[in-house]
Structure 1
Amino acid sequence: MKKTNKKLTFWDILYWILAVVPFLISLIFYSRLPDQVPTHWGADNVVNGYSSRNMAAFGIPAFMFFMAVLVNVLYRIDPKRENISRSKELKQITRWFVVILAVLVQVITILSGIGLSFNVGTVISVPIAFLFVALGNYLPKCRQNYSLGIKLPWTLADEDNWNRTHRLAGYVWMAGGFLMMILGFFNLSKLYFTIFLTMVLIPSVYSYLLYRKKNSGS
């Protein structure tokens, strides 16, 4: 059997550097953090939850680092990992968003902890909306797998169902992502969440209807 040695690329190195940046940010500002640090905000952009200094500085980054590791492990052990590799744009978007989000979350946490005030809802919701636009653009090309995409009993059991569901979801997620991005600037969290639920439900219901139609004729 021929062995393939995967070389560590510049982008791999940059990825893991970004994964540890939240820890470095916390170390730099640790002495300026209060005993209780804001870590949760309501729909009105008012703080409604706090964490201890150590949890905010190192617990949250540790969780995000675990997620960065986990997403890479899942892609490697997926029984259909060849299909994930064929969906390389989608794979890279999801991988990189985890570490970029980790840095963003830690910057927000630390800046809030040292007393700076800003619209947290917009800072978080707009990048998430942009993620859906990017994912929607490549979702129709996503091949059947167990780690990436819309994983429902009907999509996993039928490749045609998977392909048709992801084609529809691509349009829905791009349109919904653009709407969410606009709403994020205006801090309309209830409508933002409604659009998100709609983006989840439309492909799911469509996939189920395809399944019912196919099985009713058999």
Structure 2
Amino acid sequence: MKPFIRTGLAWSAVATILSAGIAAWAWNALPATGDIPVHWGLDGRPDQFAPKAEVWNYLLMMPAALFLLSIILAIVPMMDPRKANIETSRKAYLATWIGTAILLTLVHAGICVSMLQAGTDFVMPDEAVRFVIAGAALLMIVIGNYMPKTRSSFMFGVRTPWTLSSDHAWEKTHRLAGPLFMIAGALGIAGAFLFDGIWLALQLTAWIFAAAIISVVYSYFAWKNAPDRDEGTGLTV
């Protein structure tokens, strides 16, 4: 097992154990009777409830997701036909892996704290949603920072037919995509504290989508002028 995979698994293990501990703490702190809020609408008000006996299903979702994420991310570098390139891009891979694990753990903690408000007219404060969105936006900045340093792979980065068939197109596309995702993240952080209502939740998605679309379209033009676009095996059958 590669050292960077062991590092990622170690971080995932800590995040998973911490998330499970938070779930256990929340379970013990929840009232024995009454309905527990398990889902909140865009206005921050709970819109789905469950009795305590069923809340375990919700509390364990995040630890299970973190565990599954760690398994997938550990296997991907071994399955990718260009596994050597993923190892070369290990800093970007690890930054994405660790950043996602930390973000999901913090989101889980916020959800558990909100569950503890059962039996009240509690409305999830905008600040909680704002900091989650700001955290996700910060992760986009981190990923964007590493994008120009990645190498071509089938499972990580801006994967289009053109970037996967030309190293030149991959490099040029990621040199553009990196700053675009950093800008999207910066705008997302600003938007997290400037927007309200549905736009508070949607604005970061819009910035990321715009960065992704621009990167995909640009990858075609980068490939069109790439010196290695026509390389092949020469086989006819």
Q: Tell me how far apart the structure 2 counterparts of residues 102 and 137 of structure 1 sit (CA, whole Å).
A: 21
Number of residues of Structure 1 aligned to a counterpart in Structure 2:
213
Q: Tell me how far apart the structure 2 counterparts of residues 31 and 201 of structure 1 sit (CA, whole Å).
A: 46
Tell me if 1:84 matches 2:91: no
TM-score by structure 2 length?
Answer: 0.78
Letter of the aligned partner of 2:101 in structure 1?
V
Q: Which digits, 9 at most, give the CA deviation of each residue in 1:110-167, with x for residues without a partner?
A: 1010017433321211111111111111111100011211111211111111111100
Conserved 8 A contact 1:35-1:53: no
Q: CA deviation at 1:102?
A: 2.6
Q: CA deviation at 1:202?
A: 0.7
Q: CA deviation at 1:93?
A: 0.7
Q: Tell me how far apart the structure 1 counterparts of residues 56 and 92 of structure 2 sit (CA, whole Å).
A: 34
User: In 2 relative to 1, CA 11–189 (structure 1 residues): closer, same or farther, beyond 3 Å?
Assistant: closer
Q: Which residue of 2 aligns with 1:141?
A: 149
Tell me if 1:55 matches 2:60: no
Deviates more, 1:58-67 or 1:124-133: 58-67
User: In 2 relative to 1, CA 192–102 (structure 1 residues): closer, same or farther, beyond 3 Å?
Assistant: closer
Conserved 8 A contact 2:141-2:181: yes
Tell me if 1:179 matches 2:187: yes
* Structure 1 spans left out of the alignment, 5+ residues: none
* Structure 2 spans left out of the alignment, 5+ residues: 231-237
Q: Tell me how far apart the structure 1 counterparts of residues 135 and 114 of structure 2 sit (CA, whole Å).
A: 19
Q: Which digits, 9 at most, give the CA deviation of each residue in 1:75-114, with x for residues without a partner?
A: 2322212111111220111110232123112101110100
Letter of the aligned partner of 1:118 in structure 2?
P
Equivalent residues in 2 for 1:1-218, closer than 5 Å = 13-33=10-30, 35-42=35-42, 44-49=43-48, 52-115=54-117, 117-119=124-126, 120-187=128-195, 188-212=200-224
Conserved 8 A contact 1:37-1:113: yes
What secondary structure does 2:44 align onto?
coil
Name segments (4+ residues, structure 1) moved above 6 Å.
Answer: 7-11
Q: CA deviation at 1:207?
A: 1.0
State the Cα RMSD in Å. Answer: 2.9
Point out the structure with max Rg over C-alpha.
2
User: In 2 relative to 1, CA 159–8 (structure 1 residues): closer, same or farther, beyond 3 Å?
Assistant: closer
Conserved 8 A contact 1:15-1:99: yes
* Identical-pair percentage: 23
What secondary structure does 1:39 align onto?
strand
Q: Tell me how far apart the structure 1 counterparts of residues 125 and 148 of structure 2 sit (CA, whole Å).
A: 37
Q: Tell me how far apart the structure 1 counterparts of residues 222 and 5 of structure 2 sit (CA, whole Å).
A: 43
TM-score by structure 1 length?
Answer: 0.84
Q: Tell me how far apart the structure 2 counterparts of residues 94 and 73 of structure 1 sit (CA, whole Å).
A: 15
